[in-house]
Amino acid sequence: MSDAMPNPDAMSRSKAAEAAEDIGSNNSANPTLGEIIDTRFGRRSFLRGALATTAISAIPGYALLGEAAAQGASKSSFDFEEVPVGGDEKHHVAPGYDADILIRWGDPVLPGAPAFDPMKQTAAAQKMQFGYNNDFIGYLPLPGAANGSKHGLLCVNHEYTNEELMFPGLGGPQQHKKNMFAGMTKELAAVEMAAHGGAVIEVKSENGKWQVVPNSKYARRIDADTPMAITGPAAGHARMKTKADPDGRRVLGMLNNCAGGMTPWGTWLTCEENFNGYFWGKQDAHPEAAKLKRYGLPNGQYNWGVYFDRFDLAREHNEVNRFGWIVEIDPLDPASTPKKRTALGRFKREGAGGITNRDGRYVVYSGDDERFDYVYKFVTEGSVDTANRAANMDLLDKGTLYVAKYNADGTGEWLPLVHGQGSLTSDKGFASQADVLIDTRLAGDALGATKMDRPEDIDVNPRTGKVYLMLTNNSRRSAQQVDAANPRANNRFGHIIEMTPDGGDHASTRFGWNILVKGGNPADPKHEASFGTGTTGNGWFGMPDNGAFDARGRLWVATDGMSKKSAGRNDGLFAVETEGQLRGVSRGFFRVPEGAEMCGPCFTPDDETLFLAVQHPGEGDEEAGEGTFEKPATRWPDFRPDMPPRPSVLVVTKRGGGKIG
């Protein structure tokens, strides 16, 4: 097992997606979290060579090695045998559990969908089939079902595409500039567009095994051409209008949908993340070139703009402003129009962790997935009506968006992104609330929000109300920003921050913050990692990406960026203690196949089923010529010479029945 620091070119995330999210476009003077932690705790040189469990003694709230030993061992809330670390062409789950393939890229979703033929792909077929790179998974118990934990709907995001793995004959990764998209055609681009978006499928457990219900009346595919409504304060604004939509209230499709959330009224919130990679053209020719730069545009990870005017910045200036939003979808009505909720702001959004506040208002937490960007929350103006689902359907159109500022004393502030308040005025470039929301990143800059280490998913513990933020990594942090606790120079392993709303009120503008774990190998002082006492060599992880809580309020963390070559282990799913003497202890539960990323952990209400998404299996070492349709790192899950690797959703159950973990 290698303890070497991960090489970003060897990480499981595709180069295209990594390039789109690694722009690092925040050049504001706002403080970074490292600078704040350095102010709060100071530099403690003795920690340099200390074990991580000793290092965390500098931070309040940690379960310390010495204290835990003195107080005696506490019983873990998790009870399973860990998966050994490593990496191979297969997936692995903890002993005593089954992890079965539920649905794969190309499998039928809509009635009449043709069988998947990787050699003869068409956009028309893909629009009826399961899309590519499944990420977020949400489960909605089916109304009227005899057992809602055994019969429901899955809402699945299809984030992006790897054309070098999808299509034969393209050679190396086409999103790499040296290839200049050689071999790509308008027809292949149309297949990619059809493979984006999301899917709703009906699933049911019979005789202990889950299956997709064929020809379901709820089945739906959403793609880059699906008509959607633009709602909220930015709807109809001049900067949202295009040649195809002069009213600025209707847009086609959603792009790069990464994580998300499910609302109490049974809708699906899906988040558009690295939308900047889809737009083509010259920045200098655009009337808002400076604003484009803050969003990492143009990026050109896809060449759709060659074939479709709306993705060419020179030919359609405003189309780009219509992406980067939360989209709300009603899975119970496949004929309903998805709605882009502009009140929640526009950025490279990851996650929509929600909770109904004690006053009835709904609160949505999100991260902006880029190095040195911000954390946000949205508080609705109205309250959730538990007796009337219809009354909640436009609840997300009115409310207040906030951006986080982390103080050196362990407290934090939520700064309101409201036009006319603070620096968000016309003379500062914000002529209206619509401008504040379209330029959310710039608004965060203006208010002095804290630069974070690539905020990804953010979730709320349903039992404690504490909020957990996944910070995946920041390889661009300089040595001058290193501090005793977090983050680290060239921080490739990431960390998890725990946030506690003031007085348990999620609408409060104040919160407390602390650090749960720092990723990396606790046994290697160079990593400066910190986990709770009892974390084994199989249990530590790096690059936390998605988080999920089961019904008992236990945290499960999915990772993105580890590989056998870079970290001695593939990505996977880890169970992490958040309370008591074992706080910060992590245990490995699942491991993905070669080249893949772990996504979408989602539990049924009874905790007896866990749905997982495996994304981009088969990515490999470019220098070795791996990671193509002809030569993938694995042919998971079919393992057939005539079939490429296929992103898939798995269903995990305990043999003989019972709760997961």
Chain position carrying tokens 């050109």: 300
Structure tokens at 278: 């889809």
State the Cα–Cα distance between residues 36 and 40, nearest whole angstrom.
6
State the Cα–Cα distance between residues 200 and 284, nearest whole angstrom.
40
pLDDT(130) > 50: yes
pLDDT interval class at 56 (50, 70, 90) = very low
C-alpha count within 13 angstroms, C-beta hemisphere, residue 154: 35
The pLDDT tens digits of the residues spanning 7-24 come to 333 333 454 555 566 666
Q: What DSSP state is assigned to residue 348?
A: S
Residue by residue, DSSP assigns 576-642 as: E--SSTTTT-EEEEEEPPTT-EEEEEEE-TTSS-EEEEEESTT---GGGT-SSSSS-S--TTT--TT
pLDDT interval class at 47 (50, 70, 90) = very low
What mean pLDDT is reported for the chain? Answer: 89
Angle at 253 between CA 305 and CA 370, to 5 degrees: 75
Burial 390-405 (b: 16+ CB within 10 A, else e): eebbebbbebbbbbbb
Q: Are 485 and 43 in contact (CB under 8 A)?
A: no
pTM of the model as a whole: 0.92
Cβ-based neighbour number of residue 477 at 10 Å = 22
**Predicted local confidence at residue 3, as pLDDT:** 33
Chain position carrying tokens 């005696």: 72
Structure tokens at 427: 């003379």
Residue by residue, DSSP assigns 214-281 as: TT-TT-EEE-TT-EEEEESTTTT-GGG--SS-TTS-EEE----EEEEEE-TTS-EEEEE--GGGG-BS
Residue by residue, DSSP assigns 407-439 as: -TTSEEEEEE--TTSTT-SGGGT--SHHHHHHT
The pLDDT tens digits of the residues spanning 298-315 come to 888 999 999 999 999 999
Mean pLDDT of 450-469: 95
State the Cα–Cα distance between residues 424 and 430, nearest whole angstrom.
6
**Predicted local confidence at residue 34, as pLDDT:** 59
**Predicted local confidence at residue 180, as pLDDT:** 81
pLDDT(478) > 60: yes
The pLDDT tens digits of the residues spanning 328-348 come to 999 999 999 999 999 999 999
**Predicted local confidence at residue 19, as pLDDT:** 56
Query: Which are the contacts of 548, defined by CB distance < 8 A and separation ≥ 6?
Result: 459, 555, 556, 558, 601, 602, 603
Question: Contacts from 205-211 at CB under 8 Å and sequence distance 24+?
Answer: 205/150, 205/151, 205/609, 208/653, 208/657, 209/100, 210/100, 210/102, 210/609, 210/651, 210/653, 211/102
CATH 2.120.10.30 fits 8-654, yes or no: yes
- According to DSSP, the residues that pair with 458 across neighbouring strands are 469
| 309, amino acid identity | D
Q: Are 131 and 199 in contact (CB under 8 A)?
A: yes
The pLDDT tens digits of the residues spanning 227-259 come to 999 999 999 999 999 999 999 999 999 999 999
Choice between 52 and 218, residue whose per-residue pLDDT is larger: 218
**Predicted local confidence at residue 621, as pLDDT:** 79
Q: What DSSP state is assigned to residue 4?
A: P
% of the chain exceeding 70 in pLDDT: 87
